[in-house]
Chain A
Amino acid sequence: MRLNRWLGPCIVVLALVWLWLTYAYIPAARVPEEPGPRAFPVVLGFSLLAVGIAISFAAWLRSSNKPSPELVKAVTARETAIVTGTFLLLIFYTFFMEKLGFMIATSVSILIVMRVLLGMRQWRFMLTFAISVTAVCWLFFVKLLETPLPRGLWLM
């Protein structure tokens, strides 16, 4: 898969979407002698469009000469699973931190990472590690830095 061949058009599309959003949702200047809140975003949109066209043009030039050595490493199923898993875990952790409190959410999230994403099976070690990390974080954030961490809306 050659990277630049589709990266350029994607950036062009992104720039066009940005320009549409800018013109549709950001008001123009109230006073004609002033640039207004839309001016700079428009400059950025056109700059991105120019860069996208340049990348597409460079890719087209290269394809007419010889293949580029620069390839994107194929995305493996394992990689997709870990990236998606980490993202979902972050969402899960944040949601349950608010609902169940920092203590439970942190310990459970650590256990999930170790079991699901890292494939660990040593439950005694995993439990000790999860509880220790949670305790150290509680000491550091709550006691030392006096930062209030969520106690859990469902438990209060």
Chain B
Amino acid sequence: MDTVAQAFSAALSLDAIGATVLGTVVGLFFGSIPGLTFSMALALMLPFTFGMSATPALGLLLGVFVGGMTGGSVSAILLGIPGTPSAAATVFDGHPMAHKGEAGVALGSAVIASTFGGLFSLVVMILLLEQVAAVAIKFGPAEIFALVLFGLSTICGMAERSMLRGLVAGLLGLMMMIVGLDELDGVARLTFGTVQLQQGVNLLVAMIGLFAVPQVISTFIDHGRIKPLTIPDNVRASLPTLRQLKDRFWLMIRCSVIGTGIGAIPGTGGPIAAFLAYDHARRFSKHPEDFGKGELSGVVAPESANNAVTGGTMIPLLSLGIPGDPATAVILGGLLLHGLQPGPLLFQTHLSAIYALYVSIILAYVVILVVQLWGIRVFVKVLRVPPHLLAVCIIVMCVLGSYAIRNSTFDVYLMSVMGLLGYILQRLHIPVAPVVLGLVLGETLEKQYRTALILNENSHSIFYNSGVAMFFFGATALMLGLQLWSSLRKRRAAG
């Protein structure tokens, strides 16, 4: 009981509330502007958490995360352009509703469905987290290695265009992690005498460079070529009627289940959940012909599913230390920065921090409700800021944020190089997210691999003598095989 009280007092302190509110508003803002991602917002906000204690810092990051996921629906409904990939399915019916003069109901329903989905997944997360952690605590290095490998390969395998390119990206991230002092032997690896490189490629610096700089470059390139967005005047979000909500209550529950389940699988994320939920809503509707023409269920279903992903992705992150997508990879960075090592032991060492995290998520959804239902007019005005001016501000934040991490200009140079690399990878259709995940998970992967071998006198039999490890190796092979089969089938179908 003391732990719960401690968690509440930490999460409801003035600075924690302030940080959560700020994070949520920033997340909503970044999520709603097409081209700005909330992964980028998370990376940019990380340096701001240095001076904070763990609870406000996590409140800020979680606020950006859930706010970003919800904010995507604003531009999807008003402009027909999803602010985030997760809101792409909301466009199908949200934008036609805006055309019919029902933008207010669409915005109001989207925020209600988002909050419902988010809180539903939070409940599932609370119920499941400790159970998963209790199983995972029995894992040895071989099992953890196989599990992390499974998480990483799923994420690489789910690369949008080609599984092989996803694997290249993941391997590049793992290779970057090698640079620096080896923790087990104390040997400097590939530092070439550079003192600053002995600490390795700083994760936060890499994230800022890889996520933010390519986006800024793209905005500069598009400046003057793309017409500025026309945002309608007098936008107001209105609550759906009780009848409308009652008719869609079970749909919201089913879609929240879909979102939470999909979110718990590393490498999937909001877009897949939202499209599956949209498809589910259409298939089971009495009037499937209304979908695509402004049907309210077509907004409610994807929005409840994509927000339910937030709780789902936190399950592997907190209980196993495996981030499911780029955003949770940044949150993992934030947790580590504040001395919270995600994994089964977290529940024994920092239980009150976990409870405080639950309270912060609830608080973030309250802020979302208030901002989107009553503050949407002010919010829409902020959306009118030209993207090229935002890009100028972002580039300044990239430099100052990277510098603030260790008060080192070397980090800023490194961030610039990472930014250039990120842009080149983007141009080659090599996804950036697996690079970051490789960097995040690489240390655990290597440490567990080597520890397992040390325990077994350098013999790999420790891996195939463990049933759990073999299960995860099998799952990895199956996942990659399925991806390969699916891409071959697509190619054949294309002729």
Within the assembled complex, what's the spacing in Å between the Cα atoms of A108 and B454?
55
Q: Which residues of B contact A21 (CB under 8 A)?
A: 190
Q: Which residues of B contact A149 (CB under 8 A)?
A: 400, 403-404
Within the assembled complex, what's the spacing in Å between the Cα atoms of A26 and B187?
8
Q: Are B392 and A110 in contact (CB under 8 A)?
A: yes
Q: Are A26 and B171 in contact (CB under 8 A)?
A: no
Q: Which residues of B contact A139 (CB under 8 A)?
A: none
Decide if B350 is an interface residue (CB 8 Å cutoff): no
Q: CB-nearest residue of chain A relative to B417?
A: A87
Q: Which residues of A contact B279 (CB under 8 A)?
A: none
Q: Are B189 and A41 in contact (CB under 8 A)?
A: yes
Q: A87-B419, A90-B419 are in contact. List 17 more A-B contacts (CB 8 A).
A: A22-B190, A25-B192, A26-B190, A40-B446, A44-B178, A47-B171, A51-B167, A54-B164, A58-B164, A72-B427, A79-B221, A86-B216, A117-B220, A129-B389, A147-B50, A147-B404, A150-B409
CB interface residues, A 23-39, toward B, < 8 Å: 25-27, 30, 32-37, 39
Given contacts A27-B187, A55-B164, contact A33 B217 (CB under 8 A): no
Residue tally, chain A, CB below 8 Å to B: 67
Q: Are A41 and B175 in contact (CB under 8 A)?
A: yes
A residues at B contact (CB < 8 Å): 3, 7, 11, 18, 21-22, 25-27, 30, 32-37, 39-41, 43-44, 47-48, 51-52, 54-55, 58, 66, 69-70, 72-73, 75, 78-79, 82-83, 86-87, 89-91, 93-95, 97-98, 102, 106, 109-110, 113-114, 117-119, 129, 133, 137, 141, 145-150
CB interface residues, B 179-221, toward A, < 8 Å: 182, 184-185, 187, 189-190, 192, 213, 216-217, 220-221
- Majority secondary structure, A binding face: helix
- Min CB gap B445→A, angstroms: 8
B residues at A contact (CB < 8 Å): 47-48, 50-51, 161, 164-165, 167-168, 171, 174-175, 178, 182, 184-185, 187, 189-190, 192, 213, 216-217, 220-221, 223-224, 388-389, 392-393, 395-400, 403-404, 407, 409, 412-413, 415-416, 419-420, 423, 427-429, 445-446, 449-450, 453-454, 457-458, 494-495
Q: CB-nearest residue of chain B relative to A120?
A: B388
24 contacts between A and B (CB under 8 A): A11-B168, A25-B192, A33-B457, A34-B450, A35-B453, A37-B187, A40-B178, A41-B189, A43-B449, A44-B171, A51-B167, A86-B395, A87-B420, A90-B416, A90-B419, A93-B412, A94-B416, A97-B399, A102-B400, A113-B395, A119-B224, A137-B400, A149-B404, A150-B409
A51 contact from B171, B400, B409, Cβ within 8 A: B171
Q: CB-nearest residue of chain A relative to B412?
A: A94
Q: Are B221 and A106 in contact (CB under 8 A)?
A: no
Q: CB-nearest residue of chain A relative to B183?
A: A37
Q: CB-nearest residue of chain B relative to A75?
A: B427
Given contacts A11-B168, A39-B453, A90-B399, contact A32 B392 (CB under 8 A): no
Q: CB-nearest residue of chain A relative to B495?
A: A66
Q: Which residues of A contact B419 (CB under 8 A)?
A: 86-87, 90
- Min CB gap B416→A, angstroms: 4
Q: Are A37 and B190 in contact (CB under 8 A)?
A: no
Q: CB-nearest residue of chain B relative to A129?
A: B389
Q: Are A118 and B223 in contact (CB under 8 A)?
A: yes
Q: Which residues of B contact A109 (CB under 8 A)?
A: 396
Q: Which residues of A contact B427 (CB under 8 A)?
A: 72-73, 75
Given contacts A3-B428, A48-B175, contact A94 B409 (CB under 8 A): yes
Given contacts A37-B185, A98-B409, A147-B50, contact A90 B428 (CB under 8 A): no
Q: CB-nearest residue of chain B relative to A106?
A: B396
A33 contact from B189, B389, B392, B458, Cβ within 8 A: B458
Q: Which residues of A contact B189 (CB under 8 A)?
A: 25-26, 37, 41
- Min CB gap A145→B, angstroms: 5
Q: Which residues of B contact A82 (CB under 8 A)?
A: 217, 220-221
- Min CB gap A21→B, angstroms: 6
B48 contact from A37, A54, A87, A145, Cβ within 8 A: A145
